[in-house]
Structure 1
Amino acid sequence: MINVKTFATPIKIFATMRELHDLDAQVETFLREEGADAVFSMTDTTTVGENGETIGLIRAVAYRVPD
């Protein structure tokens, strides 16, 4: 079965690399726990605040788990 899951994380100035590594770990753990045997796509997009500043990140993952 093919599924799509989204993950979100806030982005804070001077902490971006740590937050991205944490998000990578969260996605990796999720896929392992779900038993995913393939990942078809992984896409990141940013969310912005009122002044156009980046305040968050949304990651969408399309993956397959055995039936």
Structure 2
Amino acid sequence: MAYKVKTFGMEIRPLKTMKELAELDGQVNRFVAENGVKRIVSVSDTPTTDDTGETIGLVRVIAYEE
């Protein structure tokens, strides 16, 4: 049993967040389906900010078994 980690990123723009989150979910779901992921162990989301503290992006990390 081998554990692996994959990171995804998405820019977040004002008033488009729901669409961008759906796109990020789609990226992750495609990765899982195309790579034969058997079990996801962990999912973590972290916002990225600019120098004013405004959220400008999201980083999603999944840990999984192949």
What is the TM-score normalised by the length of structure 2? 0.96
> How far is 1:25 from its partner?
0.5
Please state if 1:4 is matched with 2:5: yes
After superposition, the CA RMSD in angstroms is 0.5
Aligned to 1:16: 17
Please state if 1:43 is matched with 2:44: yes
Aligned partner of 2:53: which letter?
Answer: G
Aligned to 1:55: 56
Gaps of 5+ in 2: none
Aligned to 1:28: 29
Aligned residues: 65
Gaps of 5+ in 1: none
Q: Distance in 2 between matches of 1:41 and 1:52?
A: 27
**Counterpart of 1:29 in 2: which secondary structure?**
helix
Q: Structure 1: which 4+ aligned runs deviate by more than 6 Å?
A: none
Identity %, equivalent residues: 45
